[in-house]
Amino acid sequence: MQFVKLGLLAGLAVGALVAAAPAYAQVTLKVWSIDGNDRPGIADTFSKEFDDANDDIVVEYRYIPFDELVNETLRAFATGNAPDIVSFDNPDFALFSSRGAMLDITDRVANSDIVSKAEYFQGPLNSVTWDGKLFGLPKYTDTIGIFYNKDMFAAAGLTEPPTTWAQVVDYAEKLTDPANNVYGATFSARAGEEGTFQFLPIIQMSGGDANKVNTEGAAEVLDLWKQMIDNGWASRDVLSLGQWDSTGTFNAGNAAMAISGPWEIDRMVEDAKFDWGVALLPTITEGGERSSALGGFNWGIMSTTQHPDEAFRLLEYYVSQEDRLFPEFGNLPARGDIALPVTGVEKKDAALKVFQEQLQYARPRGPHPEWQKISKAIYDAMQQALTGQMSSMDALNQAQATIDTIFN
Amino acid sequence: MSRFFNALRDGVGFDVLLVGAALLFLLALAGAPLLYNVLMSFQQVDMFTLGVLFRPFVGFDNYVAVVRQPEFWLVTRNTLIFVFGSMTGQFVLGFALALFFAQKFPGAATIRGLFLVSWVMPGLVVGAIWSWILAGDFGVLNVILKSLGIIQANVFWKSDPNFSIWAVIIANIWLGLAFNMLLLSVGLAAIPRDLYEAAELDGANAFQRFWTITLPMMRSTIGAVLSLGLIGTLQQFDLFPALTEGGPANTSNVAGYWSWQLSFQLYDFAKGATVSVMMFVLVLFASIVYVRSTRHEVRG
Amino acid sequence: MTRPYTPWLLLLVALALAAVYLFPLYWMYVTSLKGSSEIFANPPTFWPVAPDPGVYPAVWARRNMPVFLSNSVIIAAGVTAITVILGTGCAYVLARYRNVWIDIGLFCVLMLQVLPASVMVTPLFVGFNQVGLLSYPRTAVVLAAAAKAMPFFVVLVRATFMSVPRELEEAALVDGNSRVGAFFTIVLPLARNGILVCAILTFMSSFGEYIYSKSIIQDPNLQPASVGLSGFLGPNSTDWNSIMAYAAIYVTPILAAFVILQRRIVAGLTSGALK
């Protein structure tokens, strides 16, 4: 009897809530990200769930192509149409946070029961920090390593993946098989952020960084890359292929090694009809300094939002769901307190281990408000060297001159 | 008041109204943005001031900075190659086809119609198709050229600094061919037949007839085609992101794309506007050519 | 003599030229029908080994193409309407006189074409925002794209008006017609074909409008097919058969309309139909 009564009461209460819901002043939150174009992504899925679960908040989600995200947001911000929450690629974040376009959430995070700043990896956390304040939260992270085709390695009498760049070239020569359209290696030296993403780690391995690019070691590796292209051990199209396309040729068996990241794993498990593995990004000398790219996106609340409290609630919801990132979307959480489940797919689990180790060496790009210009100087130099328009050192020196004007 | 309406119906007023409506529309939607860009090229611009007109004035600083960019001269050279290459290709092929289809043979009109399809093809689609045809390792063009014995090894159209600008030019010639051929066909059709017959009686050969009748009679059409072609070529944008993105190492970057890159990839709006204002000079030249060419028109 | 054979020889040459010219289109259709492994076959097959038309309904449904295509039609129709209404009168006046003011008018029309659409987007966006047009994004795109299409339309239609004998208009004026009357009853009907053809061409080229739509229209339900296509063409595109299928669905209707209408279009522009 008691139970029935309770049930009735609960039912009434729920009914009253449902009936009353429209009476609440509804808050609309606009969320922009690149997720959810042709398959469900993090931002669209979680936003929809939050929207369904909260009657007082309407989440309007908008997909924007990667190349247009920053532009759209800049323009919208300048004209007062900015979204409440936006998700940027990590090197783009400083452009906004440095100019006060993002909401300072330092205190909110400190008071939050859900978000714990201490759990985040340092690199991703740096990219959302400006001037000691926290302007956003890392969404997920990734990095790059070297994939290799174990079948082809065995056929060429190789057993171990390369550990230095000189070895990469050496192996690439052995693995190249023009008769079967097989290149020894593939990577992305595209004129864009992806090119910088793959080349900056080399500069960092040689003791440089975004503010010091003309190092001997970086020029050396550029010469090695050029050697691979000139000799036909890597396709000349690495200069125009993005990472996804470039790794596509690896999956199709047209390249024996590929430099790319964990986002490739799911597709590779499906497409690659051979045995493959991943190794840490090679170094310049045996046992030399390691580095790798730090990729991944961030969340941020824009400073123009009318509903900071609700927006932060939504942010907290995203964070609360982060244990689903890897199993459902194949992305690596940017924090250390989430154990990644074993999937049972042997190659995937092995690859994941390597990338988790690699993440320890991953170094951020920036943060710098003019990162895009630094990046262009770097990828332009890389392309000038690889196409033989300038010697590697001259190209890097020219990039250094451009970069000096940005840093000073 | 009634004088106004009379003027409207019977005099200059009607003309002014017709031209005025169109010009006002153009001034608002094309002139104002133009002015905004010119203004921006003399100002310091950032994301916060995109929406306002009055920003810190910096004189010619942006112009100096643009010229000092290491890629400035390369882009200038590429722009000239792109413009001359595309226009020559489009014009010569377009003219040759127009002359060819002016001959009388079965199906001439129908087949000529087929040559106009590139007109209605969206630039983005054309870029996607050519990107696929010109691909280095899997592109069909390399296969065809190799089987014809013209090349021995694959040409990396999109990634080889010697070819990248030509990859875009090839696609652009294909895209602009229809327009050139159509306008030139119109011009050819307007030349009275009896001129040729008279010349033939005088014993002029085909080449002489072309030189002494066709070309002079076509002067205004050629002027229009070339100046519209120049504007169209300078405005070409869709092909670049689809094919080379200006690379490798800016070897296929041209002013129009560079200006977009500066504004929307490097977020340096002032420099982007500066480059676009520099392009203005080139088009100014084209417009003068066009307007001068109309001087010789005769009303039929 | 070989004379009777000449036309047939010319026909052969014409067909060969057309085959070369139309190859990119052919390649689009063939690629769309190939399976994903056949696409990267080396050497490529010139006819799909196992044609798979299933990609068409799949792309149609998955990419929400009916919505995209209908938006393209709406935008193209709007652009054409504005261009024809405003451009025809302008072209008529510019063809009617021959003096320095006309030179200046023509000059302005061309000069306003100068900046690539990619550079005009930002100021237009700012302007539309000021007057509240961003809430009606398709209308905003129509206005912006019409300004882009207008100069070209004016130049072509002006040529049409040039070929309308001036004596006819003057005779009508002598008969007691007003200028307005003469324009609508004499000159316009005579130039009708040329205007119609230019309108069709304007429609067809604005069917591919991309840059303005991509920046101004945020709601996917209002975007045209070109923006939908660009969503495919991102940095991570290997799905060439779907891309080509999308492109084929996108351009086939205009191509078909064009092939059906092409005789009239070409005739309208080239032959005495203008007179």
Q: What domains does chain C contain, in order, with CATH numbers?
A: 29-274 (1.10.3720.10)
Nearest-angstrom CA–CA distance, A279 and A272: 17
CB C14 within 8 A of CB B100: yes
B292 compared with C171, residue with greater pLDDT: C171
**A248: contact with C, CB 8 A cutoff:** yes
Residues in Cβ contact with B177 at an 8 Å cutoff, skipping those fewer than 6 apart:
B90, B93, B94, B97, B115, B118, C21
Q: What is the pLDDT of residues B124-151, one digit of tens each?
A: 888 888 988 888 877 889 888 888 888 8
What are phi and psi for residue A32, nearest 5 degrees? -120, 135
Q: What is the pLDDT of residues A335-393, one digit of tens each?
A: 888 888 888 888 888 999 999 899 889 888 988 989 999 999 999 999 999 999 899 99
Structure tokens at B49: 């001031």
Q: Which of residues 48-77 of C touch B (CB under 8 A)?
A: none
Q: Which of B210-219, C77-86, C131-140 is modeled with the greatest confidence? A: C77-86
CB A316 within 8 A of CB A108: no
Query: How far, in Å, are A31, B93, C106 from residue B10 at the CA level?
Result: 58, 46, 23
Nearest-angstrom CA–CA distance, B83 and B88: 8
Strands (E), chain B: none
pTM comes to 0.84
CB A35 within 8 A of CB A65: no
Q: What is the pLDDT of residues A55-83, one digit of tens each?
A: 889 999 988 888 788 888 988 888 788 99
**Residue B3 predicted with pLDDT over 80:** no
Residues in Cβ contact with A14 at an 8 Å cutoff, skipping those fewer than 6 apart:
none
Mean pLDDT within C183-196: 85
Output the pLDDT for position B297.
Answer: 56
Q: Tell me the helix, strand and coil percentages in chain A, rounded to 5.
A: 50, 15, 35
Band of residue C42 on the pLDDT scale cut at 50, 70, 90 = low
Phi-psi region of C34 (alpha: psi -120 to 50; beta: other; left: phi over 0): beta
Output the pLDDT for position A379.
Answer: 94
Output the pLDDT for position B294.
Answer: 64
Q: Is there a cis peptide before residue A367, judged by omega within 30 degrees of 0?
A: yes
- What single string gives the DSSP state of each residue in A226-263? HHHHHTTSB-GGGGT--HHHHHHHHHTTSBSEEEE-GG
| Cβ neighbours of A58 (radius 10 Å) | 13
Name the minimum distance, in Å, from the CA of B70 to any CA of chain C: 22
Instruction: State whether the Cα torsion C113-C114-C115-C120 is positive or negative.
Output: negative
Q: Which domains does chain A have, with CATH numbers?
A: 17-142+295-346 (3.40.190.10), 145-293+370-407 (3.40.190.10)
For testing contact with chain C, the best of B18, B46, B151, B280 (most C CBs within 10 A): B18
Give A402's contacts in chain B (Cβ within 8 Å).
70
Structure tokens at C195: 């205007």
- Predicted ipTM of the assembly: 0.82
Give C134's contacts in chain A (Cβ within 8 Å).
79, 81
C-alpha triplet B157, B160, B162: angle, nearest 5°: 95
**B158: contact with A, CB 8 A cutoff:** yes
Output the pLDDT for position A25.
Answer: 65
**C35: contact with A, CB 8 A cutoff:** no
**Residue C237 predicted with pLDDT over 80:** no
Judged by CB atoms closer than 8 Å, whether chains meet at B33 and C127 is answered as yes
Minimum CA–CA partner of B161 in chain A: A387
What are phi and psi for residue A28, nearest 5 degrees? -105, 125
Give C236's contacts in chain A (Cβ within 8 Å).
242-245
Judged by CB atoms closer than 8 Å, whether chains meet at A66 and C235 is answered as yes
Query: How far, in Å, are A30, A136, A259, C110 from residue A76 at the CA level?
Result: 12, 19, 36, 31
**A398: contact with B, CB 8 A cutoff:** yes
Phi-psi region of A127 (alpha: psi -120 to 50; beta: other; left: phi over 0): alpha
What is the bridge-based pairing of β-strands A136-138 and A297-301?
Answer: antiparallel
**C183: contact with B, CB 8 A cutoff:** yes
Judged by CB atoms closer than 8 Å, whether chains meet at B160 and A240 is answered as no
**B232: contact with A, CB 8 A cutoff:** no
Q: Which of residues 208-267 of C touch B (CB under 8 A)?
A: 208, 210-211, 226, 229-230, 233, 240, 243-244, 247, 250-251, 254-255, 258-259, 262-263, 265-267
**Residue B1 predicted with pLDDT over 80:** no
CB A291 within 8 A of CB A215: no
**A192: contact with C, CB 8 A cutoff:** yes
Query: How far, in Å, are A64, A307, C116 from residue A78 at the CA level?
Result: 18, 19, 22
Mean pLDDT within B110-120: 80
Which of A211-215, B28-32, B284-288, C245-249 comes out lowest in average pLDDT? B284-288
CB A218 within 8 A of CB A203: yes
Give A80's contacts in chain C (Cβ within 8 Å).
129
C70 compared with B299, residue with greater pLDDT: C70
Domain locations in chain B as residue ranges: 64-296
CATH class of B64-296: mainly alpha
Facing residues of A62 across strands? A32
Give B234's contacts in chain C (Cβ within 8 Å).
116
- The helix (H) or strand (E) run that includes residue A30 is strand A27-33
Output the pLDDT for position C183.
Answer: 85
